[in-house]
Structure 1
Amino acid sequence: MKTIAHAVKPCRNFIGGNWEPSASFDRRKIVDPATGDLLTECPAATPEEVHKAVDAASHAFPEWSRTSVKDRVQYLFKFNALIGEHMDELTEILVREHGKMWADAKGDIQRGKEVVEFSTGMTDLLRGEALWDAATSVDVRMVREPLGVTAGATPYNFPAMIPLWMLPVSIACGNTFILKPSDQAPMTAVRLVELLHETGLPPGVVNLVHGAKGVMDGLIGDARVKAISFVGSSAVAEQIYMRCAAAGKRVLSMGGAKNHLVVMPDADLARTADAVINSAFGCTGQRCMAAAVLILVGDRPDQDRFFKAVYDRAEALRLGHGLYPDKYDMGPLTSQELYDRVLFFIGRGVQERAKLALDGRPKRSADYPDGLFMGATMFDDVGPDMAIAQQEIFGPVLAVIRARTLDEAIEIQTRNLYGNGASIFTSSGAAARTFARRASAGMIGVNVGVPVPRDPYAFGGWNRSAFGAGDITGSAAVRFWTRDKKITERWFV
């Protein structure tokens, strides 16, 4: 059995370069969702603690923003190396607090680490523009400047990746940063900030405060916080967006999703079925890029053949602890609240008369009877307007819709309120191009189950999957965490 090399500590706030216990008595128990074992407790920071974090970030900003870009990224080079050295330790912490399988947890960290690496190139990414003789004897330059104190609120389902999508880019651009990790899975973020502190980063450049709505109220209400990035449900994302906009803050608020996979009759059956399983049931369906709706196109016999290939693979998934990937394929749901939500939507699908082809509710892990396990669930003959086809469930539930043509499948996809990702599986270039042009989503895949772009291309959705300005990674992130200054000059010579 793997063991955590770094002893788990009670969650503390990190303010002005110091780890400080919270004075709050409002604490959430953090348990291993596979075993029910208590791991730590996460406090809800007091308003005074949030204010102190903003004080620290505000005090550190003038000197940090004047630090050369070359010197700023040296801390990120060191941070990137430390993440690599502690990869297994971080992966185990993440598995224990979230429930992901080992490979999913390691991928969570690795994908975030890639953005740390991206941020080390800020000497190039922050370059401005210049034009001589924009008018007669008039030159114009544009430079990018940091905003000031910035903040990020991150979700439980990617405890490493999302903080690492925000924090490194912001501080490399010259901002100071306050991280509010999820109060459901805070331990990975704590360890990452500990490693960042080991680089010698000046006090106050990065701060961490724990909590939920109360912390967000404090950050949004403080005029010194100039920009906030948020990832969570669409309902909360919209509220964060509106409140930040009303307060005059720059805001990027990423919400939920209902991602569609369209399978054409000419798709490679085995490879496509494998991709669907990974997309729908990887991370136990707890990711904003998970496949939630599978649209099978063509005649019924072709559809049935593909449905069976996915069904057989889903039914065979073994439930257990993510520390043992050789024994198990899928971990638990992260919290009782989420478990109950998934149960509700499965019941809703039955009420709506969708065909419950594979019921994951009775399935448990024999080795972990106290865990929040639920087997893969598949509904067939789902109507496009049913709740299970329209609303985000965030669990191992796949709604299968039958469509006769690609046009019908695209029409179903574009009617959905969300717009994170959509993919098509086909051997036809014409079908792939048609889908890529007409599907309503910010990220499109062709024979790719989880169509997340790689840097420098940015992650970002459309419609009710995103509120605010820009995307969260890539060159769009550099633009989000900076503002343009235009300098117009005339010299008399």
Structure 2
Amino acid sequence: MSSYIEHFIAGKPYSEPAARSGAVHNPSTGEEIARCEYGTRSTVDHAVAVATEAGRRWGRASHAARQAVIFKLRDLMIANMDVLAEAIGREHGKTIPDAKGELGRAIEGIEFACNAPHVTKGEYTNNVGGEIEVFSMRRPIGVVGCITPFNFPIMVPAVMMTMAVAVGNSIVWKPSEKVPSAALEFARIWKEAGLPDGIFNVVQGDKEVVDAILEHPGIAGVSFVGSTAVGEYVYQKGTNHNKRVAAFTGGKNHMVVMPDADLEAAASAFVSAGFGSSSQRCMAVSLLLPVGTETAERLREIVIPKIRALKVGSYDDPGADFGAVVSRESKVSVEHAIGRCLEEGGELVIDGRGFAVPGRPNGYYLGPTLFDRITTDMHLYREEVFGPVRGIMRPATFDEAIDITNQHEYGNGSVIFTRDGKSAHRFMMEIESGMIGVNVPVPLPSAFFNFGGLRRSKFGDGHLYGPDAARFYTKFKTVSQRWPEPDDGALPVSLAFNPSA
């Protein structure tokens, strides 16, 4: 019998009578494993009221008190690694080692949030004129609405929310309805770390909850990670309701390989960065761009056996390289993308359709798929395919490779493999992507740097982590003050614009 997954509000599970619910599946088997309750506007109203009241006290808490919770959270994340990885794998489909890799990056983000007192320091100037001193300070914005995707059930929430909490805000979080259990495990760990009840709240649900968050007058800011279409909607609707919004969206990441590159290393990097987690990553390498015909032919020969050697299996199979895609709908969508690319003239080198894992006949599996001779008018170039389908394009020159990369609407991450410093430098300067790798397959920066793409890969000026995250979750106040001597007397009346100078 399926379990029932509730919300988490005011430090405990919360449910409403006669609530809507949706099925939660194990992608590795295709079976329904739970029912997830879907919230309503009234659920969000309740969560915001709780978060507002608790947040007033938390925002006034000392840095030391808040940091003590963040330090404890880090330790508990490490202690609960196996439990969290199991929850991620069971509902997402990614392998346990991949889930633990995600948790490692989550912990890195939590560790950076321990620096919140430093990255939120203000400025001070003595005697700007008339013995007036001016200083600035950062204060929490209040209640933050967080909307997160299925593909990183813990990492994205951790790096998104830990800094928000560390600088004094409270949270109302809508996780993906496909992976609700990991959200409750994360909420449990926050409570065990000593976070006061009401600071961290989870409202499960679908678009109704998203709209309620975007429209609620008690929510000051919204952070989102997900598809470009939804991210643009979140940004426009949220800002129309006077919220600050940072929406991190899709990617179509290109890997340029120069003729002088170590082709063996480049091939391994492409396979690793392209097919990990069933390619369900916004930072996955989507398209391989070897420069020149000879480079393309040689690299293709090296890449093909590496891809054919990949093992697809259940999330708990220790020998699997990657697992199922997240849903039956996702599998159908990816298979449709393969068929469309064939119709458009792509050369199908490896076909992952019809793939089956022994003992898991109903799992949502696709084998790795590779196309060659992709062109800019094809669907596989234009659209982000969230599944294990990768392509090879054949630019004749470095200039053409840069043009192919820059003419795409997304600008999340781009990578070059080369031994030539001049080519690498030109790539860094000319490529219109927010994150760039040089001989690095996935240019995901460390947590103490800002994360975010350019063009339609990000809406808003915020960043997901790094110092800019602390700025996004705080408002700036500037104070001018003067303390006269007791016997100075009253200041003379002056209508001049700047009588203090």
TM-score class, shorter-chain normalisation, is over 0.9
Separation in 1, partners of 2:27, 2:238: 34
The secondary structure found in structure 2 opposite 1:220 is helix
Q: CA deviation at 1:156?
A: 0.2
Q: CA deviation at 1:320?
A: 0.5
Name the aligned partner's letter for residue 319 of structure 1: V
> In structure 2, which of residues 195, 209, 231 is the aligned counterpart of residue 215 of structure 1?
209
Separation in 1, partners of 2:120, 2:144: 17
Separation in 1, partners of 2:129, 2:181: 56
Separation in 2, partners of 1:444, 1:291: 12
Match of 1:20? Answer: 14
- CA deviation digits over 1:38-72, x for unaligned, max 9? 32111211222111101100111211111111101
> In structure 2, which of residues 107, 111, 116 is the aligned counterpart of residue 117 of structure 1?
111
Match of 2:495? Answer: none
> In structure 2, which of residues 395, 408, 418 is the aligned counterpart of residue 403 of structure 1?
395
Separation in 2, partners of 1:134, 1:414: 47
Using the size of structure 1 for normalisation, the TM-score is 0.96
Q: CA deviation at 1:133?
A: 3.3
Name the aligned partner's letter for residue 471 of structure 1: H
- CA deviation digits over 1:80-102, x for unaligned, max 9? 11111010111111111101122
Separation in 1, partners of 2:363, 2:329: 13
> In structure 2, which of residues 168, 185, 201 is the aligned counterpart of residue 191 of structure 1?
185
Q: Does the alignment pair 1:45 with 2:57?
A: no
Separation in 2, partners of 1:373, 1:102: 16
Match of 2:454? Answer: 462
Q: Report matched runs for 1:47-86 at 5 Å.
A: 47-86=41-80
The secondary structure found in structure 2 opposite 1:403 is coil
Name the aligned partner's letter for residue 155 of structure 2: M
Q: Does the alignment pair 1:91 with 2:85?
A: yes
Query: 1:453/1:337 Cα in 2 relative to 1: closer, same or farther (>3 Å)?
Result: same
Q: Does the alignment pair 1:333 with 2:325?
A: yes
Match of 1:307? Answer: 300
Match of 1:296? Answer: 290
Match of 1:204? Answer: 198
Query: 1:155/1:465 Cα in 2 relative to 1: closer, same or farther (>3 Å)?
Result: same
Separation in 2, partners of 1:341, 1:272: 29
* Equivalent residues of 2:174, 2:203 under 8 A apart: yes
> In structure 2, which of residues 371, 380, 383 is the aligned counterpart of residue 388 of structure 1?
380
Match of 1:452? Answer: 444
- CA deviation digits over 1:204-247, x for unaligned, max 9? 11111100111111112211100010111101100110111111
Separation in 2, partners of 1:48, 1:316: 51
- CA deviation digits over 1:409-468, x for unaligned, max 9? 000000000010000001111111111111110000001111001021011001101001
Separation in 2, partners of 1:154, 1:424: 30
Match of 2:312? Answer: 319
Match of 2:496? Answer: none
Match of 2:250? Answer: 256
Structure of higher CA gyration radius: 2
Match of 1:347? Answer: 339
* Equivalent residues of 1:24, 1:44 under 8 A apart: no
Match of 1:133? Answer: 127
Q: Report matched runs for 1:133-282 at 5 Å.
A: 133-135=127-129, 137-282=131-276
Separation in 2, partners of 1:22, 1:445: 48
Match of 1:286? Answer: 280
Q: CA deviation at 1:24?
A: 4.8
The secondary structure found in structure 1 opposite 2:106 is helix
Separation in 1, partners of 2:130, 2:416: 53
Name the aligned partner's letter for residue 359 of structure 1: D
Name the aligned partner's letter for residue 73 of structure 1: Q
What stretches of structure 2 of length at least 5 have no aligned partner?
486-501
Separation in 2, partners of 1:19, 1:363: 40
> In structure 1, which of residues 97, 100, 106 is the aligned counterpart of residue 100 of structure 2?
106
Name the aligned partner's letter for residue 315 of structure 1: R
Q: CA deviation at 1:302?
A: 2.6
Q: CA deviation at 1:356?
A: 1.1
* Equivalent residues of 1:150, 1:227 under 8 A apart: yes
Q: CA deviation at 1:385?
A: 2.3
Query: 1:22/1:449 Cα in 2 relative to 1: closer, same or farther (>3 Å)?
Result: farther
Q: CA deviation at 1:125?
A: 2.0
Separation in 2, partners of 1:226, 1:25: 27
Q: CA deviation at 1:132?
A: 2.0
Q: CA deviation at 1:360?
A: 0.8
Match of 2:414? Answer: 422
* Equivalent residues of 1:320, 1:367 under 8 A apart: no
Name the aligned partner's letter for residue 289 of structure 1: M
* Equivalent residues of 1:259, 1:291 under 8 A apart: yes
Name the aligned partner's letter for residue 42 of structure 2: E
Match of 1:4? Answer: none
> In structure 2, which of residues 405, 417, 421 is the aligned counterpart of residue 413 of structure 1?
405
Separation in 1, partners of 2:351, 2:17: 45
Separation in 1, partners of 2:18, 2:415: 45
- CA deviation digits over 1:385-412, x for unaligned, max 9? 2111011111111121001211110000
Match of 1:5? Answer: none
Range with bigger deviation, 372-381 or 131-140: 131-140
The secondary structure found in structure 2 opposite 1:30 is strand
Match of 2:489? Answer: none
- CA deviation digits over 1:318-377, x for unaligned, max 9? 11112223x221211011111111111111101111111111113222242221110111
CA RMSD of aligned residues (A): 1.4
The secondary structure found in structure 2 opposite 1:10 is strand
What stretches of structure 1 of length at least 5 have no aligned partner?
1-7
Separation in 1, partners of 2:429, 2:101: 30
Range with bigger deviation, 230-239 or 262-271: 262-271
> In structure 2, which of residues 471, 481, 492 is the aligned counterpart of residue 489 of structure 1?
481
Separation in 2, partners of 1:293, 1:270: 17
Name the aligned partner's letter for residue 386 of structure 2: F
Name the aligned partner's letter for residue 456 of structure 2: R
* Number of aligned residues: 484
Q: Identity rate of aligned residues, in percent?
A: 38
* Equivalent residues of 1:258, 1:392 under 8 A apart: yes
The secondary structure found in structure 1 opposite 2:4 is coil
Separation in 2, partners of 1:422, 1:148: 35
Separation in 1, partners of 2:240, 2:129: 38
The secondary structure found in structure 2 opposite 1:62 is helix
The secondary structure found in structure 2 opposite 1:174 is coil
Using the size of structure 2 for normalisation, the TM-score is 0.94
Q: CA deviation at 1:136?
A: 5.2
Name the aligned partner's letter for residue 463 of structure 1: R
